[in-house]
Amino acid sequence: MSGNRAVAYLKPGTVEVQTIDYPSLELRDGPGVAPENIGRTCRHGVILKVLATNICGSDQHMVRGRTTAPENLVLGHEITGEVIERGPDVEFTEVGDIVSVPFNIACGRCRNCKERKTGICLHVNPARPGAAYGYVDMGGWVGGQAEYAMVPYADFNLLRFPDREAARERLLDLAMLSDIFPTGFHGAVTAGAGVGSTVYVAGAGPVGLAAAASAQLLGAAVVFVGDLNAERLAQARSFGCETVDLTRGEPGEQIAEVLGEPEVDAAVDAVGFEARAHGADAEEAPATVLNSLMGLARAGGSIGVPGLYVTEDPGGIDADARTGSLKVRLGLGWAKSHSFTTGQCPVMTYHRQLSMAILHDRVRIARAVNAAVIPLEEAPRGYAEFDQGASRKYVLDPHGALNGVTAA
Q: What is the pTM of this model?
A: 0.97
List residues bridging with 4 in a β-sheet: 20
Compute the residue count for the chain. Answer: 408
Q: Which residue type sits at 238? A: S
pLDDT at 3: 82
The topology (CATH level 3) of 3-179+347-397 is Quinone Oxidoreductase; Chain A, domain 1 (3.90.180)
Q: What is the dihedral of CA 24, 27, 33, 36, to 10 degrees?
A: -170
Helix axes 206-217, 180-191, angle to 10 degrees: 60
DSSP-derived 3-state class of residue 86:
strand
**Residue stretches of the chain with pLDDT short of 50:** none
pLDDT, tens digit, 9 for 90 and up, residues 145-202:
999 999 999 999 999 999 999 999 999 999 999 999 999 999 999 999 999 999 999 9
List residues bridging with 322 in a β-sheet: none
Residue extents of the structural domains in the chain? 3-179+347-397, 183-341
pLDDT, tens digit, 9 for 90 and up, residues 63-116:
999 999 999 999 999 999 999 999 999 999 999 999 999 999 999 999 999 999
Q: How many CB atoms lie within 10 A of CB 111?
A: 11
CA–CA separation, 322 and 316 (whole Å): 5
> What is the CATH architecture assignment of 183-341?
3-Layer(aba) Sandwich (3.40)
DSSP-derived 3-state class of residue 1:
coil
CA–CA separation, 379 and 382 (whole Å): 5
pLDDT at 21: 95
Rg over alpha carbons for the chain, rounded to the nearest Å, is 20
pLDDT at 407: 86
